[in-house]
Amino acid sequence: MASITLPTQMVQLRDSVEIITYDGKVLKTSELFWQANTDWVFTEQPFEYIDSLQGSITKGIGMDFDKRFTHLKAHKNHRNYTREGVAIND
């Protein structure tokens, strides 16, 4: 489901949101916002972020980033894993 608020140019996506970039990065969450005028994307919900280039999986609550997934900030990071399931930040 998507809704757009025109004065703020805010787009909201809900219900099993999955974003896949051209280079294989994947973001899964239950709600995602896109601020169109700044090209900034964020969620306050639990998320899973998979970076196949770095071979890592990050899980946490709340994240914001630019539309190209180059500048990411996790608000509350639970754990980082390698693709093999080894915890990175223990």
Q: Is 77 or 64 the better-scoring residue by pLDDT?
A: 64
Both tokens assigned to 28? 């899964």
For residue 88, the model assigns a pLDDT of 53
pTM score, whole prediction: 0.71
Q: Which of these, 37, 44, 45, 34, lies nearest to 69 by C-alpha position? A: 34
For residue 21, the model assigns a pLDDT of 85
* Digit-coded pLDDT (tens) for 38-67: 888 899 999 998 888 888 888 888 988 877
Q: Which of these, 26, 24, 25, lies nearest to 16 by C-alpha position? A: 26
DSSP 87: B
Query: Taking the mean position of all CA atoms in its chain, how far away is CA 71?
Result: 11
Answer whether residue 77 shows pLDDT above 70: no
